Amino acid sequence: MSEDHAGRMGAIHRELHSHLPPEPALRVKALESLLVEKGLLDPRTVDAWIEVYTEEIGPKRGAEVVARAWSDPAFKARLLEDAPSAIAELGFQGWASGHLNVVENTPAIHNLVVCTLCSCYPHALLGIPPNWYKTAAYRARAVRDPRGVIAEFGEVVPDEVEVRVWDSTAELRYLVMPARPPGTEGWDVARLAALVTRNAMIGTARDLAPRVGGR
């Protein structure tokens, strides 16, 4: 075999390898194709789910829920009493929205949500959890040292404020309702919703006061 020929074969070899999906992708594809053939999985469900969670949901729905609660005391009361029914009013049912509890931050209480087992999360309201939510570091330390974890996110919970940690499960998930920041009197729901961050609804952020220049 000439050197030239060996070079060409090497190029073909690399081309084949660049084309072959990574092993886990092949495994998912195998699983999906078998389930579809057996009529146990509709590929349109998979495509629709990916589109919705990639493009649409994010934490926007959760932010709207919080902003509405800030603006409408009757809605807020219903939300704290029976979150699944209240979010159904907004049409926000979806994956894991059936068993949801909304916990309210007050001047005396700060709430922090974790899933110590895996990554249970109110997907229908917040989308896909951030990577840090799924790490062993967060899952362990949120319970052991919640103030320390919150501090790492650049937030300070004053000593006199009680920190409550909620461990999510498949049967019961949590959304934190942060406090409405001062200086937002008269704001409409859309403007308020823009202040509400994903981290605030998990509890790793507390202060949502609008910054100079907006954010």
Partner 1 sequence: MSGPEAALLPREPAAGTPVFAEPWHAEVLAVAFALTRDGIFSAGEWADALGAEIARATAAGTPDTETGYYGAALKALESLVSAKLPTTGAALAERIEAWRCAYLNTPHGQPVTLAAAALPMAHHDHHHD
Q: If 0-12 CB within 10 Å is exposed, 13-18 middle and 19+ buried, where does residue 90 land?
A: middle
- Tokens coding 103: 């916990």
Nearer to partner 1, 16 or 74 (CB): 16
Among 60, 78, 141, 147, binds partner 1 (CB under 8 A): 141
Residue 118 touches partner 1, criterion: CB under 8 A: yes
Among 8, 32, 85, 93, binds partner 1 (CB under 8 A): 32
Among 80, 132, 161, 167, binds partner 1 (CB under 8 A): 132
Residue type, 163: V
Residue 153 touches partner 1, criterion: CB under 8 A: yes
Q: If 0-12 CB within 10 Å is exposed, 13-18 middle and 19+ buried, where does residue 175 land?
A: buried
Residue 170 touches partner 1, criterion: CB under 8 A: yes
Among 3, 171, 185, 188, binds partner 1 (CB under 8 A): 171
What CA–CA distance (Å, rounded) separates 58 from 50?
12
Site for partner 1 in 45-64 (CB under 8 A): 45-46, 49-50, 53-54, 58
Q: Which residue, among 124, 76, 82, 127, has the nearest Cα to 104 in the 3D structure?
A: 76
Residue 17 touches partner 1, criterion: CB under 8 A: yes
